[in-house]
């Protein structure tokens, strides 16, 4: 099973929340309350996102966090990269990993292609997309007949 870490998941949740009101300054406490994630976890996520220049932080009574760029200019791939490092489905699909079988591996190039497709898909989804309601038609196939239904 392919799965990103819980911290990367929380990163997307926090960033999506900030994207719903990108002009507002959000405190860690307010964000934790609204996204239903523990304050220490939200604080850790926000610190990482600030270090990676995806959010800006300010101190003081009116301080908090804001997106560093427009929600249209931040991709899900950037958030995952910030939280976990470069996206790699296998160790060998990362550029900086050297594997013991590298010299004789016949599928490393194929894993890299798959990795590029997944990364491209994640780059194509922005925070602006994530902040919108997810009511989209889902195409279902039953007995070879295409049916269209909307699920939310």
Q: Which residues contact 43 (CB under 8 A, 6 or more apart)?
A: 28, 32
pLDDT of 147 higher than 60:
no
Could you list the beta-strand ranges (E) of 1-152. 55-58, 64-67, 136-142, 145-151
- Taken in order 94, 98, 101, 106, is the CA torsion positive or negative? positive
The helix/strand/coil state of 54 is: coil
pLDDT tens column, 20-71:
999 999 999 999 999 999 999 999 999 999 999 999 999 988 889 999 999 9
pTM: 0.79
Give dist(CA 135, CA 150) in Å, integer: 7
The residue among 73 and 61 whose pLDDT is bigger is: 73
The Cβ-side half-sphere exposure at 10, using a 13 Å CA radius, reads 22
Q: Is the pLDDT of residue 87 over 70?
A: yes
Helix (H, G, I), strand (E, B) or coil at 91: helix
For residue 108, the model assigns a pLDDT of 74
Q: Regarding predicted confidence, which is higher, 152 or 55?
A: 55
Domains of the chain in start order, with CATH, are: 6-130 (1.10.10.10)
On whether the CB atoms of residues 31 and 18 are closer than 8 A, the answer is: yes
Determine the Cα–Cα distance for residues 92 and 105; give it in Å rounded to an integer.
10
């Amino acid at each position: 099973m392919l799965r990103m870490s819980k911290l990367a998941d929380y990163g997307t949740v926090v960033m999506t929340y900030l994207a719903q009101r990108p002009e507002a300054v959000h405190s860690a406490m307010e964000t934790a309350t609204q996204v239903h994630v523990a304050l220490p976890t939200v604080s850790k996520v926000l610190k990482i996102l600030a270090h990676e220049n995806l959010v800006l932080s300010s101190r003081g009574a009116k301080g908090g966090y804001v997106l560093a760029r427009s929600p249209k200019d931040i991709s899900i791939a950037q958030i995952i990269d910030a939280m976990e490092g470069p996206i790699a489905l296998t160790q060998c699909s990362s550029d900086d990993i050297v594997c013991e079988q590298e010299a004789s591996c016949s599928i490393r190039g194929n894993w890299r292609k798959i990795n590029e497709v997944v990364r491209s898909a994640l780059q194509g989804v922005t925070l602006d997309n994530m902040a919108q309601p997810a009511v989209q038609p889902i195409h279902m196939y039953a007995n070879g007949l295409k049916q269209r239904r909307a699920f939310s």
